[in-house]
Each structure stands twice: as C-alpha cells, then as structure tokens.
Amino acid sequence: MIRTALRAGIVAVSVGLAASSGHPPRPSNLVIITLDTTRADRLPAYGFASVATPSIDWLARTGVVFDDAESVAPLTLTAHTSLFTGLYPPRHGVRDNVDAPLGAAHATLAGILRARGFHTGAFVGSVVLAADRGLARGFDVYQDGRARDVSASRRRSASAVVDDARHWIDGLDGEPFFLWVHLYDVHAPQAPPVEFRRAYGDGYEGAIAYVDSQIARLLETLERKGALATSAIVVAGDHGESLGEHGEREHGIFLYEGALHVPLVIRAPGVAPRHVSGITSLVDVLPTLLDLLGVEWPPTIDGRSLVPALRGLPLRDRAVYAESMYSTRFGWSPLRMIRDRELKYIDAPRPELYDLRSDPSEQRDLSAARPATAAHMRAELAAIGVTTGILGEPAAGADRLRTLASLGYVSGRSARRAFDAGLDPKDYINVYNAVRHHAGR
C-alpha cells in the first residue's frame, strides 16, 4: 500500500502548488482506471460505509471528487466510447455493445496523445472492449487477453489485468505515457476471491473491495517507478447497477440513477483536494485531460473541460444526456434522458420527470403534475440534436453474439427486431428479468 509519509507529502505539495498559482503544473503522464458496473453510491468516497476501498479513498482524499457525474448509457462499450471521444452516443454511433466499432473519422484520446509522443497502453478485462471493438486505435499495446487463451478471454480478473499493466509500466523508458486499465470484476456474475466473498457475503460489494486491492498494486508500481506524483490519475465508472431498483436486477434497460450515477475522481499534480457538486458527464473526461496536458481537443466534441473546477471555480450549469438502446433488441422503445440541474426527464412512451433534490430515489414521477416542465425538457432534449433512429440488424457476427450472450448482454437472438415506439420498457422489465435468468442457467 502507498506509504503514509508519501501520502502526507503529496497532499502538502499539491495544496502548496495550488495555492501559489491558479494554473496547476502539467502532469507528465496520464492514468485512467475505469470501474465497470460501479455505482457511485457504493463507494466510501461517496458516503457508503459498508465496503473498504482504501486505494480509491486515498485518490479521493488527494484529488477532486465529482459528486454528480453521469454516464451516457448503461452499457460498457457505449460508455467507454464516449469517455474516449468526448462525444455522446448519437454522435459517435456506438449505441450498443454489438454495434459496429467506432469509425476511423472520430479522434480518440489515445490517438491524440500518441501523435504527441506518449507511450500508450491499454489493459482491459472484458471481451466487450476487445481490440476489434474500435477503442484500440491509438494504443501501442492493447491487451485484452485473447492472445494468450481464447477460451479464458471473455472476462479477465483484475489481478490478471493489473499484472499486465504493471509489466508494461516497468518497461517504460521515462518518456510520457498514457495508461488505461479497465477492471470488470464488479460486473455480474461477480466472483471475487474467496476472502472477499467471506468478508462481505455480497458479491457486488466484495468485488468492489477486491478491485480496490488491485488498484493498490497499480499505485504501488507507479510509486516505485517514480511516476505517481507526476501523473494525472482518473478513476471513473462506466455505468452503475440497478440492484433491483425499479424492478431491474442489473443494468442495460433503464436510465435511473442507480445505473447512471458513476464515480469520477481526478487526482493531478498541483490540484488541491475538494468535492465538486455540479453536474458532469463522461464526455467531459477527454477535454479535461487534454486541457490538463496543454493539448488542444477536437472542436466538435460534446464534453467540456473540468479544469476550472479543478482550480476551485464553480461549474457552469448545463444539461447532460444519456440513452438506452438495449431495449430495442426486444422490440421495445428506446429511452433517452436529459438532466438539467436537479430536474431529470426520461423520454419514453410514458415520459417521466423527477426532481432529484427532493426525490433522489426517483419514486415520484412529476410529469403529470408539471406538464409544462416536462414539455420544456422534452424540447430541450430535441434541441441537443439527438436522434434515436431505428436500430436494425446488429453489426456483430454470430460468434460475437454468442460470446456476449455468455456475459448476459444479449438474449440469444441473432438479430435485433425493429422497435415499436409504443412499447414501454417499464411494462416489460419482468419479462427481461426472466429472459436473463433463463439465459444464465
């Protein structure tokens, strides 16, 4: 684990530098750790006391915690594609895990940094993010495990992913680097090591604790390499998990906060620790990190730089967007969401409106009581320029569909039906749960 003296020293240096200048020093390196299926409200950094995550806690205490970060979709590939392009799903086109890979016309964080001399390495834990899914572009090394053992590459444990990342770090030559580590263990079905299962008796919380233990190993390697204090480190969830809320056992269908509210922590040299309360989105990660590094970002992205918030300035209000296209596989309507401050509107055959300040668990639909507000937010959603469209046949082949079905991502059908916009997923969640249960047997 990170030494206590080192922790105190980094905090003191960070606070002193931030106090002496409105512009923090540029980091030499960048590390992004994405936590698959991890709800913000299941981490101590966000007020949850029933799981131990000392590594994430340390990053949160010495960095900036964004209290209100939203995913763009409750699906792994879609969310990661937005994180690495700064684009909402309708703009980058990867709106489902089985869609065609990201098009070559879209710039990625890895491609931008490699063009500027960074070593780039990615180490991922799931076939959903395999090298042929579009995010490998720009990485010198993209390790998804398939080269070693195809039969075992559908998902890899955090320890295996971190082993590969540590080996790559040890081989670096002192030049700037960008490292992405994706940890999948919190995704169902969770199977953390026995000591974590025994300690928690809950697969979800036990997997979170296990993942944190592997983040500790990664931080120790960065420290040993002399890169910890000079690197910007990001911890971000791709999406959450419903855990039975609103009838959804896992994720993929609904756009409630259990599936959308994700952790986002950024620790960087010269940035004083704080919490930021304004609404942020995964599309903000790319422009923020490029801004920190002093690199221009593509002018047409949907995200915004959060560097002003890292410097202690308040975030300007703005609406954020999310969508779920997964339900169209079953012939149901897609869902779209817009959140403006504490008001959240879900566009569905039966629209929903929530005030998250007074109703954080989204139990009281206000759409009938406040029709003018609902109509305004629906118009605001349209003004974003988002189009849903009908999703036709999935671009993935039969082998990929079978692989994703084994992970619970598809129903086993080889084609996606055109959806009927009148079929509300809220009316079919029990059907979906039954299909998932049957597919998992």
pLDDT > 90? residue 276: yes
- The Cα 137–Cα 324 span in angstroms is 25
How confident is the prediction for the chain on average, in pLDDT? 86
Contact assessment for residue 387 and residue 300, using Cβ atoms and an 8 Å cutoff: no
Sheet with 335-340, strands from edge to edge, namely 320-324, 335-340, 343-347, 352-355
Q: pLDDT over 90 for what percent of the chain?
A: 73
Maximum Cα interatomic distance, the chain, rounded to a whole number of Å:
62
> Which amino acid belongs to residue 248?
E
pLDDT the model gives residue 25: 82
pLDDT > 80? residue 248: yes
Reported pTM: 0.88
Sketch the domain layout of the chain as residue ranges: 4-316, 321-439
pLDDT > 50? residue 12: no
What's the DSSP call for residue 85? H
pLDDT > 50? residue 267: yes
Q: Do the strands 264-267 and 119-123 form a parallel or antiparallel pair, or are they unpaired?
A: unpaired
pLDDT > 90? residue 228: yes
pLDDT the model gives residue 1: 42
pLDDT the model gives residue 2: 44
Q: Which residues pair with 336 in a beta bridge?
A: 323, 347
394-401: long-range pairs with CB below 8 Å, 24+: 394/96, 394/98, 394/99, 394/329, 395/98, 395/99, 395/100, 396/98, 396/99, 400/98, 401/98
- The Cα 139–Cα 109 span in angstroms is 10
The DSSP secondary structure of 162-218, one letter per residue, reads HHHHHHHHHT--SS-EEEEEEE-TTSSSP---HHHHHHHS-HHHHHHHHHHHHHHHH
The 10s digit of each residue's pLDDT in 55-93 is 999 999 999 999 999 999 999 999 999 999 999 999 999
The 10s digit of each residue's pLDDT in 317-340 is 899 999 999 999 888 999 999 999
The DSSP secondary structure of 324-390, one letter per residue, reads E-GGGGGTPPPEEEEEETTEEEEESSS-EEEETTT-TT-----TTT-HHHHHHHHHHHHHTT-----
Q: What is the mean pLDDT of residues 149-164?
A: 81
- The Cα 404–Cα 75 span in angstroms is 12
Contact assessment for residue 95 and residue 391, using Cβ atoms and an 8 Å cutoff: yes
The 10s digit of each residue's pLDDT in 368-378 is 999 999 999 99
The 10s digit of each residue's pLDDT in 377-426 is 999 888 775 443 333 333 444 444 444 444 455 443 333 443 445 899 99
pLDDT the model gives residue 389: 35
pLDDT the model gives residue 394: 39
pLDDT the model gives residue 383: 75
At the second CATH level, the architecture of 4-316 is 3-Layer(aba) Sandwich (3.40)
pLDDT classification of 111: cutoffs 50, 70, 90 = very high
Contact assessment for residue 68 and residue 278, using Cβ atoms and an 8 Å cutoff: yes
The residue behind tokens 């959804």 is 248
Q: Which of 3-7, 112-116, 233-237 has the lowest mean pLDDT?
A: 3-7
